[in-house]
A and B are shown apart, each in its own frame.
Chain A
Amino acid sequence: MGVIVVEVMPKPEILDPQGKAISTALPRLGFEGFTGVRQGKRFELTVDGEVTPEHLDAAAKAAESLLSNPIIEDVISVRELGGEA
């Protein structure tokens, strides 16, 4: 079983209310020194057998057309899940 990881983040110029809320909550728990937080999404797409270049290509297309909205988000990476994780 292969897994492809797709990571999506809000564009830098787009407000990220969730990230902002987390950013203000961190110091309340004693986590000091972080000047900002951005919250994105991670998708894991599972395939039967090995991940092929075709799978990666299809995942990249899915990432651009469905998993992200190009108006507000950037696709950061489309890659095979490495190691034994």
Chain B
Amino acid sequence: MVKIGVVTFPGTLDDRDAARAVRLAGAEAVELWHKDEDLKSVDAVVLPGGFSYGDYLRCGAISSLSPVMGKVIERAKAGMPVLGICNGFQVLCEAHLLPGALIRNDHQKFICRDQKLEVVRTDTPWTSKFTAGQEITVPLKNGEGNFVCDPDDLERIEGEGQVVFRYREFNPNGSMNDIAGVCNEAGNVVGLMPHPEHAVEAGFGPQSEAGPHGGTDGLGLFTSVLTQLVG
């Protein structure tokens, strides 16, 4: 069975949700602790969101230096699929695995809503189950989700096709070019601010055509990586 590691940092909130998403997709979820120096033979790693510990300096800065991240960086550079969600996205940017940085929302407020996204790129291990331009809805909750980089980097990211998700209808935090998620040059490392792991099971997800809490659009990320790893 495909093994997907889910890293828990002190204070992590959404690790259980991410592990549940992994299981619902059909893989084995392997718990990883931030002090682990062994990735326990996992085939992919999810850095979940929803934590605040270590954010005193900059979100994700201290966490990006944790022992487990040393291994994640090494394996990511060798091609292992890595997904960073929300704070996990911030950790990947601080670890320089992803371009850009995430700063305080332009309106200064924490925001929590069901968010429409456009899937821009579908040839990453985390988005292959989607079609280009597909609209999905997943919950979003952040205070520092404003994606920024310098103009040259922005041009490069757009030019190289590193934008994976874009906000639709409403930009919740001021992110440049409505960017909600990006990938590295190789495409195996993906980060996004909204939370797909909160939209994986009918009855527990966002509002959708399937009814209140009926949305399961987030499951596609987890089934995508499974397809990729099974081959």
Q: How would residues 28 to 70 of chain A score, 1 for a CB under 8 Å from any chain B CB and 0 otherwise?
A: 0000000000000000000000000000000000000011010
B230 touches A (CB below 8 Å): no
Say whether A69 contacts B104, CB under 8 Å. Answer: no
Q: Mark A1-24, 1 if CB is under 8 A from B, else 0.
A: 000000000110111011001000
Q: In the assembly, what is the distance between CA of A9 and CA of B58, in Å? A: 13
- Would you call A72 and B151 a contact (CB within 8 A)? no
Check A72 against B107 for contact (C-beta < 8 Å): no
Beta-carbon contacts of B169-188 to A below 8 Å, as 1s and 0s?
Answer: 00000100000000000000
In the complex, are the beta carbons of A72 and B101 less than 8 A apart?
yes
In whole angstroms, how far apart are the Cα atoms of A66 and B86 in the complex? 21
How near does chain A come to B107, taking the closest CB pair, in angstroms? 7
Indicate whether A71 reaches chain B with its CB closer than 8 angstroms: yes
- Bound CA span A13–B152, Å: 12
Chain-A contact segment, one of B13-21, B39-47, B71-79, B142-150: B142-150
A41 to B215, CA, bound (A): 42
Inter-subunit contact B150/A11 (CB<8 Å): yes
Q: B161 at interface (Cβ–Cβ under 8 A)?
A: no
B94 near A69 (CB under 8 angstroms)? yes
Task: Tell me which of A10, A17, A66, A71 contacts B149 (CB under 8 A).
Answer: A71
Contacts of B146 in A (CB 8 A): 15, 17
Contact across chains for B103 and A17 when beta carbons are under 8 A apart: yes
Shortest distance between the CB of B20 and any CB in chain A (Å) = 32
Known pairs A15-B174, A69-B61, A69-B101 / 10 extra A-B pairs, C-beta < 8 Å: A10-B103, A13-B150, A17-B104, A17-B105, A17-B174, A66-B57, A66-B61, A67-B57, A71-B149, A71-B150
Nearest 7 A/B pairs, CB to CB: A17-B104, A71-B101, A72-B101, A17-B108, A21-B108, A17-B106, A69-B101
